[in-house]
A and B are shown apart, each in its own frame.
Chain A
Amino acid sequence: MIKALASKALYSISILWGVITLCFILFYVFPDAEDMMVGQRADLQTKQAIKEELGLDKPVFIRYLNYLKQLSPIGIFSKPDIPKNWYEISLSENNSIVFKNPELGRSYQNRRSVVNILMEALIGTLILAGVAMTFAFIIGILFGIIAALNYQNLIDSLLLFLSTLFISVPSFFSSIIIAWLFGFIWYQYTGLPLTGSLFSIDMESGKQVLTLSNLILPAIALAVRPVAVITQLMRTSVLANLESDYIRTAKAKGLPPYLIILKHTLKNALNPVITAASGWFASMMAGAFFVEYIFNWKGLGKVLIESVQMSDLPVVSGGVIYIAIIFIIVNTLVDLSYKYLDPKLR
């Protein structure tokens, strides 16, 4: 168990290291960062000053090491460079081992710490994705079971047709349609806003208020494809399970149909669904970018797209690293959930 965890951790760290290195090459080696910071009008002296401040005049390898040092939670620094809020263990006269929060630098645009910007945005995305995924799982599993139990009749065909349709629709398109229909055309019935974030500014008091109604449309838009995918996976999986010997045993025991489905089919059928659906978390995140942008939902996707437009490299590279971390965590959780669902893996 410990060995498995250790190898898993090592694997995750090496993936993260790969992503970080790639980020460095893409965002810091190729482009001229000082041009992006100051725009077209600055004179040479200003550019030189910025270059020195960011250490861009140093060789690439040194910059890479500095970049890693900045990101790593543990590192060796010379004493004068250490800010007060870092925890340090003195090594020699000049150097200390330091434990700190990983740093991602500051935004070129507004000089705010990238960690703060991304953390704020991350919460928005996690809430949106979490609600959408929960919704997708509940509805998808339900529809999948309904389709399987009505195998090859009208309800099954209808669900199969709809899910195939929704798998094929890209999320930016379904987002626009959903926003237009429910937030504009039928606004008088739904009362749902076209765009907005989790917190909105109250016009009278000027305070931030939690606005859950803003969550509904983007969450549905984001869930459309996963619902369709999970419906189809679940349908196939339940059908395969209903054929198995232990279902025959359950029938022979005289259990009522609802117990056969809930107790004997569901758990066994879920395993392949979760395996396959976890692969879809990736495209969920990609979908979230467009959905957030279209619904003006304050989240990682929106922040990243805006930063790309403004060439705010520290935010973009930090965002990519965040997404990599999210993937690693999600995949680990999925692995752990197999162990619960399939006792043979324990």
Chain B
Amino acid sequence: MLTEPLLDLQKLKISFKSPFGKTIEAVRGIDLSIQRGEVLGIIGESGSGKSVTFLSLMKLLSPNATVEGKAFFNFKDNFSSDLFALKPQELRKLALRNIAYIFQDPLAALNPSLRIGKQMTECILEKINSEQKKIKCLQILEDVMPGLSERAYNSFPHQLSGGQRQRVMIAMAMLNKPDLLIADEPTTALDPEVQDNILNLLLQMVRKYGTTLILISHDIRSVADFCDRIAVFYQGKMVELGTKNDIVSKPHEPYTKALLSCRPNQSNQGFYLSTIKDFMQNEVPAPQKFPDLHISENSLLDAIDVSQVYNKKFKALEPVTLRIKKGECIGIIGESGSGKSTFAKILVHLEKPNSGTLVYADTLTPSKVQMVFQDPFASLNPAIPVGDAIDEILKIHQPQLNKRERQNRIFALLKETGVDESLSNKKPAAFSGGQRQRICIARALAAEPEILVCDEAVSALDISVQAQVLNLLKRLQFERGLSLVFITHDMNVAKHICNRILILKNGQLVEQGETAELFENPQNSYTKKILSYYQA
């Protein structure tokens, strides 16, 4: 017998009105049925409408959003009603009983000034006294974080770690045993070691209570194993829907194929990555192999025993020694708090090390070591046209150039990094995230650096854009003989791009070696541990 779907989206359209009267269509007609008890993965990049679609169910969108279409929700007694037609108080009742959410950033999603216990007990529907409410909360907390339930119950959100906070969010969502749980990028803000644990826990909890799970993510590889079916969203439409195996092993749509092969993986090792643009053409061009690498024997920059101490007692970085040679790409890997960003700041002279020295080769000056930052939205001044931002650097580092020569340099740099040079008088708002990161790279190149330090430079980017930026950096390494120091928490990216890898943990260097050797034959137990996540 075919049962009614739990949630049936029909011709869903969502648009936003901007303050200047422009209408932006975020979701452009989605039909999707979700079966009771399944785990459905929703995959898409930013702007695909994947989050907006499911936020609209509980009217969580900003007031300038217009929602059209129907969303039938099937209550337990086989009675369906359109969520968009419900009155606010009916919707609230539904939210408490039937539909729960988990969001991306658990620190922002929990109220900073209320204890966890208070935030949990307010969701309880039954008319029971506060002691019984507490027992109920502790029971479910014990499920998600054994042995820590009492502590978590009495804590403020900032007193818990990122993973613990997300566990609390899961407990809170499952408190009323909802029919549907919508998890919007639940692990994106967490360290990779914690991600799988959280996803496993999520799966275990929904199985236990028979809850249907919608798992929204930008990364098809990291969630595919947990899903029964996967839907791929692209530019406000659902481009493909199928079982997990169909989508991962024999995708039909070019976009799905692109998503699967844009990420660095075993098969595209040593090749430039394919991009979405490649797949959207009729004939997919064959990936290009990396040219031969030439690393000179002489060192460019030696960091000798550099260490950093903050506030006289917090040891952010224990003494680390690193020799950077011309033309190589060095990866620095570590979770948050490992000291990797501190090390980067010391290399580019943004911070003075507490002890240790930087020894430069004769040809190198500190200004020849430049940096690219993680967030391209925050690292460009929104008020300055991008051409002027690059011009600023040229004026300082190449004062001999006249205005015309500088203009030509700006065009050349933008062209080299793949940005349309005719847009050089536009402000950053006119560019997408990937283009902004290219502009940041162009700006760093304006100082004619020999070493480029990239601090999580691709972590904030969508997967297809990430591939483009990685290709660009790799090309710069080969064409300019640029040395790269690439800081990341992503083992896939590191393996793809780096020649040599350093692994940091809690400010200490735990292991370093050639990439291939380190991946095949790790010595340190911590390295083995993070590599096992990578291989899984």
Interface residues of A (CB under 8 A from B): 244-246, 248-256, 259, 263-264, 267-268, 341-344
**A328 vs chain B, min Cβ distance (A):** 27
- Contact A268 B111, beta carbon cutoff 8 Å: yes
Interface residues of B (CB under 8 A from A): 58-60, 89, 91-97, 100-101, 103, 105, 108-114, 118, 122-123, 156, 158, 172
- Of listed A246, A248, A252, A342, residue having the most chain B CB within 10 A: A252
Given A252-B58, A254-B92, A254-B93: A246 in contact with B112 (beta carbons within 8 A): yes
Residues of chain B with a CB closer than 8 A to A344's CB: 112, 156, 158
Considering the complex, give the chain A residue whose CB is closest to the CB of B125.
A254
- Contact B105 A245, beta carbon cutoff 8 Å: yes
Considering the complex, give the chain B residue whose CB is closest to the CB of A254.
B95
Residues of chain B with a CB closer than 8 A to A264's CB: 111, 114
**A266 vs chain B, min Cβ distance (A):** 9
- Contact A251 B114, beta carbon cutoff 8 Å: no
Considering the complex, give the chain A residue whose CB is closest to the CB of B62.
A243
Bound CA–CA A267/B123 (angstroms) = 19
Residues of chain B with a CB closer than 8 A to A244's CB: 108
Considering the complex, give the chain A residue whose CB is closest to the CB of B104.
A245
Residues of chain A with a CB closer than 8 A to B100's CB: 252-253
Residues of chain B with a CB closer than 8 A to A268's CB: 111-113
- Contact B92 A255, beta carbon cutoff 8 Å: yes
When the two chains form the complex, which single residue of A249, A256, A263, A342 contacts B103, counting CB atoms closer than 8 Å?
A249
For this complex, 9 residue pairs linking A to B, each with C-beta atoms less than 8 Å apart, are: A245-B109, A253-B95, A254-B58, A254-B91, A254-B92, A254-B96, A255-B122, A342-B112, A344-B112
**B131 vs chain A, min Cβ distance (A):** 20
Bound CA–CA A248/B172 (angstroms) = 14
User: What 6 A-B pairs come out closest when comparing CB atoms?
Assistant: A254-B95, A245-B108, A254-B96, A252-B101, A254-B92, A343-B156
**B320 vs chain A, min Cβ distance (A):** 31
Bound CA–CA A246/B116 (angstroms) = 12
**A99 vs chain B, min Cβ distance (A):** 39
Known: A264-B111, A341-B113, A342-B113. 20 other contacts (CB 8 A): A245-B109, A246-B108, A246-B109, A246-B110, A246-B111, A248-B60, A248-B109, A249-B110, A251-B95, A252-B101, A253-B95, A253-B96, A253-B122, A254-B58, A254-B96, A254-B97, A255-B92, A263-B114, A264-B114, A267-B114
Considering the complex, give the chain B residue whose CB is closest to the CB of A270.
B113
Bound CA–CA A253/B118 (angstroms) = 13
Bound CA–CA A342/B158 (angstroms) = 11
Residues of chain B with a CB closer than 8 A to A263's CB: 114, 118, 122
Residues of chain B with a CB closer than 8 A to A342's CB: 112-113
Residues of chain A with a CB closer than 8 A to B103's CB: 245, 248-249
**A150 vs chain B, min Cβ distance (A):** 13
Considering the complex, give the chain B residue whose CB is closest to the CB of A264.
B111
Bound CA–CA A246/B118 (angstroms) = 14
When the two chains form the complex, which single residue of B58, B91, B113 contacts A267, counting CB atoms closer than 8 Å?
B113
- Contact B109 A343, beta carbon cutoff 8 Å: no
**A255 vs chain B, min Cβ distance (A):** 6
Residues of chain A with a CB closer than 8 A to B89's CB: 256
Residues of chain B with a CB closer than 8 A to A267's CB: 113-114
- Contact B113 A343, beta carbon cutoff 8 Å: yes
**A303 vs chain B, min Cβ distance (A):** 42
Residues of chain A with a CB closer than 8 A to B60's CB: 248, 251-252
- Contact B112 A343, beta carbon cutoff 8 Å: yes
**B59 vs chain A, min Cβ distance (A):** 8
Residues of chain B with a CB closer than 8 A to A248's CB: 60, 103, 109
Bound CA–CA A267/B118 (angstroms) = 14
- Of listed A251, A253, A255, A342, residue having the most chain B CB within 10 A: A253
**B18 vs chain A, min Cβ distance (A):** 16
**A207 vs chain B, min Cβ distance (A):** 50
Bound CA–CA A267/B156 (angstroms) = 14
Bound CA–CA A264/B122 (angstroms) = 11
Residues of chain A with a CB closer than 8 A to B111's CB: 246, 249-250, 264, 268
Bound CA–CA A35/B495 (angstroms) = 89
When the two chains form the complex, which single residue of A246, A249, A259 contacts B101, counting CB atoms closer than 8 Å?
A249
Residues of chain A with a CB closer than 8 A to B91's CB: 254
Residues of chain B with a CB closer than 8 A to A255's CB: 92, 122
Bound CA–CA A252/B172 (angstroms) = 11
- Contact B112 A251, beta carbon cutoff 8 Å: no
When the two chains form the complex, which single residue of B94, B105, B113, B114 contacts A254, counting CB atoms closer than 8 Å?
B94
**B169 vs chain A, min Cβ distance (A):** 8
Residues of chain B with a CB closer than 8 A to A245's CB: 103, 105, 108-109
Bound CA–CA A268/B158 (angstroms) = 14
Bound CA–CA A249/B97 (angstroms) = 15
When the two chains form the complex, which single residue of A254, A256, A343 contacts B158, counting CB atoms closer than 8 Å?
A343
Residues of chain A with a CB closer than 8 A to B93's CB: 254
Bound CA–CA A248/B158 (angstroms) = 18
**B262 vs chain A, min Cβ distance (A):** 29
Residues of chain A with a CB closer than 8 A to B97's CB: 254
**A156 vs chain B, min Cβ distance (A):** 14
Bound CA–CA A245/B101 (angstroms) = 12
Bound CA–CA A256/B59 (angstroms) = 13
Bound CA–CA A245/B123 (angstroms) = 17
Bound CA–CA A245/B96 (angstroms) = 18
Bound CA–CA A253/B120 (angstroms) = 10
Residues of chain B with a CB closer than 8 A to A250's CB: 111
Considering the complex, give the chain B residue whose CB is closest to the CB of A251.
B60
Residues of chain B with a CB closer than 8 A to A256's CB: 89, 92
Considering the complex, give the chain B residue whose CB is closest to the CB of A249.
B109
**B140 vs chain A, min Cβ distance (A):** 14
Bound CA–CA A147/B103 (angstroms) = 29
Residues of chain B with a CB closer than 8 A to A341's CB: 113
Bound CA–CA A342/B111 (angstroms) = 11
Bound CA–CA A297/B468 (angstroms) = 74
- Of listed B93, B94, B113, residue having the most chain A CB within 10 A: B113
Bound CA–CA A343/B109 (angstroms) = 16
Bound CA–CA A263/B89 (angstroms) = 18
Bound CA–CA A255/B96 (angstroms) = 8
Residues of chain A with a CB closer than 8 A to B123's CB: 253-254
- Of listed B111, B114, B172, residue having the most chain A CB within 10 A: B111
- Of listed A244, A246, A248, A256, residue having the most chain B CB within 10 A: A246
